[in-house]
Amino acid sequence: MEDLHLTCYTHEIQDGLNASPKLNAGTGQGGDLTAAGWGSFVVFDNIVKEGLNEDSKTLGKFSGWGVVTSIGGIPAGGAQMSGQFDFGEGSEYNGSSIAVTGTVSVPGVGPPPPWERIIVGGTGKFRGCKGYAIAQPAAQARPLYVFRWDIHLSK
């Protein structure tokens, strides 16, 4: 593989019992991610789909964690995150993964999108790859937030 550009969508449920990001420690308890202050710790487990719609083909999941690293909280700079795309049976990359890291913010506060992330490596068909990813909100209708990911890989 020389260069590869993938586009996929993460579907994140931000409210209720099935919320996919969980604020586990720090300020902003009760699920209010916009109130997460310095040192707050969030974990997430989102579905990766081929498109914007809930009924689009499932490709895998995107899971990881983030820590608010700005003393002023998310509005002052966001959170440092680390996550992994794990592609499943619905994808031509079944069994492969891509690891990303970078600074993110909650839509409406913090640095405006799009957010650029570093691709630190991968497994399976992505073994030995590096690159970057651009993520930006694609649809927001609480409780579902959808983010478009443009992933650029090279070997």
- 106-129 confidence digits (pLDDT tens): 656 655 678 899 999 999 999 999
Assess whether pLDDT exceeds 60 at residue 48.
yes
- Type of residue numbered 36: A
List the structure tokens of 125.
Answer: 């068909």
pLDDT confidence of 23, banded at 50, 70, 90?
A: low
CATH number of the domain encompassing residue 99: 2.40.480.10
Residue span of the structural domain in which 77 resides: 3-154
Please state whether the peptide bond connecting residue 114 to the residue before it is cis, i.e. omega within 30 degrees of 0.
yes
DSSP secondary structure letters along 22-68: EEEESS-TTT-GGG--TT-EEEEEEEEESSSSTTSPEEEEEEEEEEE
Largest CA distance in the chain: 45
Task: Supply the DSSP symbol for 124.
Answer: G
- Output the pLDDT for position 85: 97
Q: How far apart are CA 133 and CA 47, in angstroms?
A: 17
Model confidence, pTM: 0.87
pLDDT band at 78 (very low <50, low <70, confident <90, very high): confident
User: Number of folded domains in the chain?
Assistant: 1
| pLDDT over 90 at 86, yes or no | yes
